[in-house]
Amino acid sequence: MFKALVPYLVAKDAEHAIGFYCKAFGAVEVFRMVDPGDGRVGHAELMLGDNRFMLSDEYPDFGAASPATIGGSPVTLHLSTDTIDADVERAVAAGALLLRAPKDQSFGERSATLQDPFGHRWMFSQTIEDITPEEMQARWDEETSA
């Protein structure tokens, strides 16, 4: 039985990425292992609140390529927060690219989308209204038919 889903990111400059995630998102580095041969980050683990994510430098021989190498990523990482506006402001000040500014959404969330300097997309989201899935669908139907 699975216990958790943990994102594993690859960056062209993992050491710089670790510093960015700590500054921009308030991540805490748990540990890292450095390749003794060339100094690349072979594996690092960081915490965002109670959530772990992992990171390494590129290792093409293992198929580990960054979004910069493969021309982007189809994956967006979702971060739930209680302070979206301040969190977005801090990430942008640290070098994230704001793709969609914070905005209240019909599905009960205030959300924003950013891209970090390493090509990974992040959606920040704050619950502003508790609504049922049925109400979400009804609101979406109404929005798209207008």
Above 90 in pLDDT, residue 144? Answer: no
pTM of the model: 0.91
Mean pLDDT across the chain, nearest whole number?
95
Q: What is the pLDDT of residue 75?
A: 95
Please report, for residues 42, 73, 89, 92, 94, the alpha-carbon distance to residue 80 in angstroms, rounded to integers and kept in the order given.
28, 20, 15, 17, 19
Backbone angles phi, psi at 27, to 5 degrees: -65, 155
- pLDDT for residue 146 is more than 80: no
- Three-state SS at 116: coil
The string of pLDDT tens digits covering residues 75-130 is 999 999 999 999 999 999 999 999 999 999 999 999 999 999 999 999 999 999 99
User: What average pLDDT does this structure show over 53-77?
Assistant: 95
pLDDT at 143: 87
d(CA 41, CA 34): 5
Q: Tell me the domains of the chain and their CATH numbers.
A: 8-145 (3.10.180.10)
State how far the alpha carbon of 35 is from the alpha carbons of 15, 23, 58, in Å. Answer: 12, 24, 12
Radius of gyration of the chain (CA): 17
